[in-house]
């Protein structure tokens, strides 16, 4: 069942936590208090749940409206870097516990929640600064050259980052389906795609090996990485460079051979991570490292769970498994080093809004029993799309083997997201004009909760095809 209960009982921006108070002003001191809370976090079995909850509570208690706008803008870069350092501390703790053999899944889940909340604060601070024309981060000379400036680099890295074969790129797109993927497991995530890097040993040209719903598995020059509208990218590196190189070489040759033949490896809609005849994006990484280690190094170390009681959406997508490899699982794998992270702070707010809306959809399904009931227009559009694709049209939008049922639910998700976005757009814009600050994830969630509880959903057009 998805974590985060009583979603529709959020009526304010914050959860007020007794005993936690921030003084008026001094924004950086409040951020530093969060970092200190993280430094006290122990991810062992006995303490992780209580101490992780304390960190999350402190983060949720941070109300940016209690601080001067100019203060937040001028402190944005330092605040983001402090929170980034706090996340790196958690990664170091995960690595240490894994090396000792004492890392347990329940504490990995705690770490995931804490990291998600910390990154969410960074996103908000960066969005606010970007909205007012400030650069949330200075240029970093150590940044990978395929990413723009304003990239955070792990302090353990001492020279400019050069891509290596077997590196992993974790990313988030801004399409509605990206939010669907990011929030589909028991634990919410902030990422929707993953790729493996291959560097040609002769030419030194770098490529990504990827699997996309629209075209299956393909090879792309690294220069294409940001052209599809990604709003964040994180670079991870496996600690055994030989294993990493073998993994990348194998997948590069498999995918390129199929691509050059005109019959690319199909996209794996069921998310079967152990059947590699077809590949979804994370499965590229899994098969590569499985091959390179003769099955002894299986990625990820802690797969995502799909145990929600209402599986209507998953079944329509063709997903029957209760465990699989979602992109963000790589961040929770202590056998990979966190190298660098980039974000487009000017657009990250769009992803935050979509995440809040997708959360609302999942919770309507889980708590209120909502299900999809394709309307006539969805059925007609899905079948027409299938016919057109089989006739050779829309080659870059969907494969010929995509099921009509899957096309239908994708159309419904697009319509549903659009309707809910229309409902929250006006209050978010009004708040921004009045305060000079964007809506946070919690404010979007609270607004959706208010609309639901005041009956606005009952009159929405989607009630004709999305209802209990």
Q: Model confidence over 280-333: pLDDT tens digits?
A: 999 999 999 999 999 999 999 999 999 999 999 999 999 999 999 999 999 999
Which of the four pLDDT bands, split at 50, 70 and 90, describes residue 396? confident
Query: pTM of the entire structure?
Result: 0.93
Structure tokens at 37: 């809370």
Rounded to an integer, the average pLDDT of 353-362 is 97
Q: What's the rounded mean pLDDT across residues 153-165? A: 96
How is domain 7-351 classified at the CATH fold level? endopeptidase fold (from Nostoc punctiforme) (3.90.1720)
Q: Where are the domains of the chain?
A: 7-351, 352-467
pLDDT tens for 206-257 read 999 999 999 999 999 999 999 999 999 999 999 999 999 999 999 999 999 9
Q: Is the pLDDT of residue 188 over 60?
A: yes
* 8: confidence class by pLDDT, cuts 50, 70, 90: very low
Say if residue 419's pLDDT is above 50: yes
pLDDT of residue 4: 46
CA distance linking residue 285 with residue 263, whole number of Å = 20
Percent of the chain residues topping a pLDDT of 70: 95
pLDDT of residue 13: 36
Output the six-digit token pair for 169. 């790129």
For residues 112-123, average pLDDT: 97
The CA distance from 375 to 379, in Å, is: 6
Confidence of residue 275 (pLDDT cuts 50, 70, 90): very high
> What is the average pLDDT across 146-161?
92
Q: What is the pLDDT of residue 138?
A: 87
State the average pLDDT for the chain: 93
What's the pLDDT band for 425 if we cut at 50, 70, 90? very high
Q: How confident is the model at residue 150 (pLDDT cuts 50, 70, 90)?
A: confident
CA distance linking residue 260 with residue 218, whole number of Å: 10
* Gap between the Cα atoms of 130 and 80, Å rounded: 13
The pLDDT tens digits for 131-147 are 999 888 988 999 999 99
Give the model's pLDDT for residue 12: 35
More reliable by pLDDT, 277 or 7: 277
How far is Cα 100 from Cα 446, in angstroms, rounded to an integer? 42
- Give me the percent of the chain exceeding a pLDDT of 90: 90
| Between 19 and 52, the higher pLDDT residue | 52
Predicted confidence at residue 25, as pLDDT, reads 56
- Pairing mode, strands 336-343 and 304-305: unpaired
Which residues does residue 170 pair with via DSSP β-bridges, in sequence order? 194, 234
Q: Is the per-residue pLDDT at 346 higher than 80?
A: yes
């Amino acid at each position: 069942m998805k974590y985060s209960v009583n979603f529709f009982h959020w009526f304010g921006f914050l959860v007020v936590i007794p005993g936690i108070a921030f003084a008026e002003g001094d924004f950086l001191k409040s951020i530093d208090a969060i970092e200190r809370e993280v430094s006290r976090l122990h991810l062992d079995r006995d303490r992780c749940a209580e101490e992780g909850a304390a960190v999350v509570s402190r983060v949720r208690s941070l109300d940016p409206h209690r601080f001067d706008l100019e203060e937040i803008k001028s402190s944005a870069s330092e605040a983001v870097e402090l929170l980034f350092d706090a996340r790196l501390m958690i990664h170091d703790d995960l690595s240490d516990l894994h090396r000792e053999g004492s890392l347990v899944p329940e504490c990995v889940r705690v770490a995931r929640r804490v990291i998600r909340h910390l990154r969410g604060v960074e996103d908000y601070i960066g969005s606010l600064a970007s909205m007012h024309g400030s650069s949330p981060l200075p240029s970093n000379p150590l940044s990978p050259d395929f990413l723009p400036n304003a990239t955070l680099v792990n302090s353990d890295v001492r020279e400019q980052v050069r891509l290596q074969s077997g590196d992993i790129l974790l990313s988030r797109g801004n399409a509605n389906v990206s939010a669907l993927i990011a929030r589909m497991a028991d634990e919410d995530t902030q990422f929707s795609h993953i790729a493996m890097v291959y560097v040609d040993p002769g030419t030194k040209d770098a490529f990504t090996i990827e699997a996309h719903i629209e075209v299956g598995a393909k090879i792309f020059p690294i220069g294409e990485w940001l052209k599809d509208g990604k709003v964040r990218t994180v670079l991870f590196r496996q600690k055994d460079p030989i294993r990493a190189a073998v993994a990348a070489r194998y997948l590069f040759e498999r995918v390129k051979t199929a691509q050059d033949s005109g019959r690319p490896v199909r996209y794996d809609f069921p998310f079967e991570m152990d059947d590699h005849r077809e590949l979804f994006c994370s499965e590229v990484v899994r098969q590569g490292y499985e091959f390179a280690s003769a099955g002894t190094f299986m990625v990820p170390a802690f797969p995502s769970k799909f145990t929600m009681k209402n599986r209507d959406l998953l079944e329509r997508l063709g997903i029957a498994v209760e465990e699989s490899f979602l992109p963000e699982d790589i961040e929770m794998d202590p056998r990979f080093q966190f190298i660098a992270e980039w974000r487009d702070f000017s657009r990250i707010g769009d992803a935050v809004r979509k995440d809040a809306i997708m959360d609302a959809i999942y919770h309507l399904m889980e708590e209120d029993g909502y299900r999809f009931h394709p309307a006539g227009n969805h059925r007609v559009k899905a079948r027409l799309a299938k016919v057109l694709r089989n006739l050779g049209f829309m080659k870059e939008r969907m494969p010929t083997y995509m099921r009509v049922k899957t096309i239908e639910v994708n159309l419904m998700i697009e319509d549903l997201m659009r309707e809910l976005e229309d409902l929250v757009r006006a209050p978010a814009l009004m708040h921004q004009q009045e305060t000079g600050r964007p809506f946070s994830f919690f404010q979007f969630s609270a607004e959706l909760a208010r609309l639901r509880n005041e009956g606005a959903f009952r009159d929405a057009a989607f009630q004709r095809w999305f209802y209990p």
